[in-house]
Amino acid sequence: MKKTLLVIVLLLTLSLLLALPAEFTRAGNPELYKELSAKAKNNLKHLTLEQKQQYKDLLKQYPDILMNYLLAYESDSNLAEAKPEDVKSNYEMICALLNKKGLKYPVDFFLSYIAKQTVSDEPLTAYRKILLQDGLQNIINTTNTDLEMFRAVTLWCVSRIQFQQISGRDQSPLDIVQKSLIGRCEEMQILLVSACRTIGLPARPAYTPWWAHTDNNHAWTEIYLDGEWHYTGDMDMAWFPDNTWFSGLVDKTVLILADGTLTTWKDEVLIKGKYDAVINSTANYTKDRSRKVKIKVVDSNNKPIPNANVIPMVFNWGSLRSLINLTTDKNGYLEFTTGRGAFYLSVYSKEGKALVLIPSTAEKTIEKKITVTNTDFAGGWATLEYPEDSVESKTQPEEYIIAVNLEKERWQEKQKTLENEALKTKTTDDSLAIKVALACRGNYSAFWEFYKRNPNPDSNFLQFLLEGDPKLLWQANAELLEALYNNWLKLYKPEMDEEKVMSLFSPVVYYENLPQVVNYKKGKAQLYPESFCYNYPHNRDGVIKVLSRLKEKYKINAKKALSGLPPLHILVQQKNLTAVQYKIMAVCFLRANGYPSEYSRIPNLIAVFIDGDWQYVNVVKCAWEDLSQDNKTNTFQLILQIKDDKGNPIEAKEEQLTLCRYAEGAFYPLNDNFAYLGSGKYNGVFPVSDVWLQFGYRVSEKQTRVFLQPLKPKVDDTLSLEIIAEDYPFEKKEEN
């Protein structure tokens, strides 16, 4: 009797904790419920039957707006990879948060910026409960204002992550706090946004795809305080919102973007996708210094062109890089807000193309009518200006600086604990294996389990693990390491250099998550299914035959495919793929058959190392891109002479000079590089195609010079070009 009473009390307590405000119920908000319910059910249609049923059970168990939102606005590929119980755990924590703090925001705003589970492309995990147990619950209990919460949560993050520039695949919040304690800017963003949302502070990811005035990009967090969006870029300097290292650089930017889901009329939505909306947040930074750019795209007969691609571009890492791909409306019109920095607009449609420079001006409105044609762009020089707004950096209070340093010491203590535990649990005295275990950080137990199953593995394999993507060691389980090793034993050759080793044995192709091992042969874990592997001759014809088998198994059909970048073990189960997923699968097929291969951003192409060189192959046509009918490589030679305006030779840096292809409005740098011959001379042999030579340099933080030159080479051409670079900034050499 007592047990029955206890169960009833527990159930009643749980029901109270999970009780939602009326605004989250079907009766209290029928229109939103109807919208989200239909979207949630539709989002499950490409999952397996088992997965569909598990998520439908959640919808039956919790028939409210919150659960429908969680399943409607999480990508179906994330749901395919995740566990339904993880979604349930996050749901319960959100309900508990509402029960404690109440609903302070409109329902759609709460859902978008507090309830949203993932931040970027990280895997979906049940992080909220664990982060609450790791100190966030105390912040909820002890802070009274949003500003206090903001300061407390940024301090909390300081002891759990340290910046390090690493690969582009995202870690989850749990990966960061439990295994790595390290991340690049996007992962610092993922942890802070996730932590803010967990304690009920609205937060969203913000980013500049590419800086305009310097090489690189950046991601950070926007926090909603006092009815406005504010930003932070350094969690150890976050006492004052909007006060970080890039505060004085915002006028140099072109676009600052943020992500949301259920947007309002106040948002300048640039793209509305299935799962998220790209919001133009530029005006939150540049304030009254923003510019409104109004574009009208017409053909040669002055007829408006609807759905034309309009791509703002800036020069970064040797090429014009796309910031975002926008489209004109039915009247050929497009309007968006930008900062004051100069940029290019690339316009593309079936009627033609255009490339237009938008200069830096103080004008509030820029109106441009752009005519697309089938003629080539004119080449030549352009000077891009980037103004600067002086911002006074605020001094952090002394007690806050002391608190930050204390959190940094705690991070160091955690780091030392990971090292000690890895050494304490070692199963060998092999110094190389110990190095790998230490590199695994909090994931050391997975490596020692692998080592236990595979004593004294090939030292070359251990070196590969050390020199490759460190996130592999932080995230891989013992089964995946074993599958990688079995693949290594099958395909590794001592004569392979590091580049080919990485392009053959990496378990990921693009930015997808690590695969799970689902294929075993004679009890051995395998990375690739046996159905991927063929005994074709290892040559160019063999590559085409492998790709032909891929074409038999999978089809490109985005409407029937999962969205995003599912990991390999999820892709294998599909029949229909997006174009990007198909290219990922093509690389996997070729790697499974011993061909070093790499993903290429050029539509339909991937790069394969064959006959001593990297070559492009078209995965849709199953044909080599740069071969003639007699199977010879079609190439041309390009010779450059680069001088300054005084005749001095220039040795350009790698990030200043590229050869690019142009496709559908975007530029795609080729894998091939120039060889520097000395005295400002360069030489390169490239596949024959219409290409663009791009050369640029930063005269200062306020000015960039860019040279663009279209080339139309023929087979066996030798083209020579002299470039005179005005105001080239030579580095001063220190005297001995």
- Beta carbons within 8 Å of 188's beta carbon, 6+ residues apart: 157, 161, 163, 219, 220, 235
CA 650 centroid distance within chain: 34
> How does residue 5 score in pLDDT terms, banded at 50, 70 and 90?
very low
Q: pLDDT digits over 19-54, tens only?
A: 799 999 999 999 999 999 999 999 999 999 999 999
Residue 437: what pLDDT? 97
Weakest mean pLDDT among 231-235, 486-490, 638-642 = 231-235
pLDDT tops 70 at residue 6: no
pLDDT tops 90 at residue 431: yes
Residue 732: what pLDDT? 54
Q: pLDDT digits over 325-351, tens only?
A: 999 999 999 999 999 999 999 999 999
Q: pLDDT digits over 527-580, tens only?
A: 999 999 999 999 999 999 999 999 999 999 999 999 999 999 999 999 999 999
CA distances from 184 to 189, 194, 210 (A): 9, 15, 15
> How does residue 523 score in pLDDT terms, banded at 50, 70 and 90?
confident
CA distances from 543 to 139, 198, 527 (A): 57, 49, 20
CA 448 centroid distance within chain: 31
Residue 566: what pLDDT? 96
Residue 7: what pLDDT? 43
Weakest mean pLDDT among 141-150, 372-381, 639-648 = 372-381
CB of 220 closer than 8 Å to CB of 185: yes
pLDDT tops 90 at residue 12: no
Residue 191: what pLDDT? 98
Q: pLDDT digits over 401-425, tens only?
A: 999 999 999 999 999 999 999 999 9
b/e sequence 636-664, b meaning 16+ C-beta within 10 Å: bebebbbbbeeeeebebeebbbbbbbbbe
- Asked whether the CA dihedral 154, 159, 161, 163 is positive or negative, the reply is positive
Q: pLDDT digits over 676-710, tens only?
A: 999 999 999 988 888 999 999 999 999 999 999 99
Residue 18: what pLDDT? 62
**Measured distance CA(545)–CA(543) in Å, rounded:** 5
Residue 612: what pLDDT? 85
**Measured distance CA(353)–CA(264) in Å, rounded:** 33
Residue 689: what pLDDT? 85
Residue 298: what pLDDT? 97
Residue 15: what pLDDT? 47
The DSSP letter of residue 176 is I
> How does residue 631 score in pLDDT terms, banded at 50, 70 and 90?
low
Residue 57: what pLDDT? 98
Weakest mean pLDDT among 262-266, 354-358, 481-485 = 262-266
Residue type, 339: G
Weakest mean pLDDT among 3-12, 201-210, 372-381 = 3-12
- Beta carbons within 8 Å of 73's beta carbon, 6+ residues apart: 39, 111, 116, 261, 275, 276
Facing residues of 668 across strands?
661
Residue among 496, 510, 508 at smallest CA distance from 458: 496
- State the average pLDDT over residues 246-274: 93
- State the average pLDDT over residues 82-98: 98
Facing residues of 694 across strands?
658, 708
Q: What is the rounded average pLDDT for all residues in the chain?
A: 93
CA distances from 47 to 77, 566, 578, 612 (A): 8, 12, 15, 42
CA 301 centroid distance within chain: 40
What tokens were used for 520? 């075993």
Residue 392: what pLDDT? 79
Q: For the chain, give the percent of residues with pLDDT over 70.
A: 96
HSE toward the beta carbon, residue 3, CA cutoff 13 A: 0
Residue 486: what pLDDT? 96
Helices (H), 179-333: 185-199, 283-286
CB of 712 closer than 8 Å to CB of 379: no
Q: pLDDT digits over 439-498, tens only?
A: 999 999 999 999 999 999 999 999 999 999 999 999 999 999 999 999 999 999 998 888
Residue 8: what pLDDT? 43
Residue 14: what pLDDT? 46
Residue 114: what pLDDT? 98
Question: What's the pTM?
Answer: 0.94
Facing residues of 380 across strands?
708
b/e sequence 549-559, b meaning 16+ C-beta within 10 Å: bbbeebebeee
Q: For the chain, give the percent of residues with pLDDT over 90.
A: 85
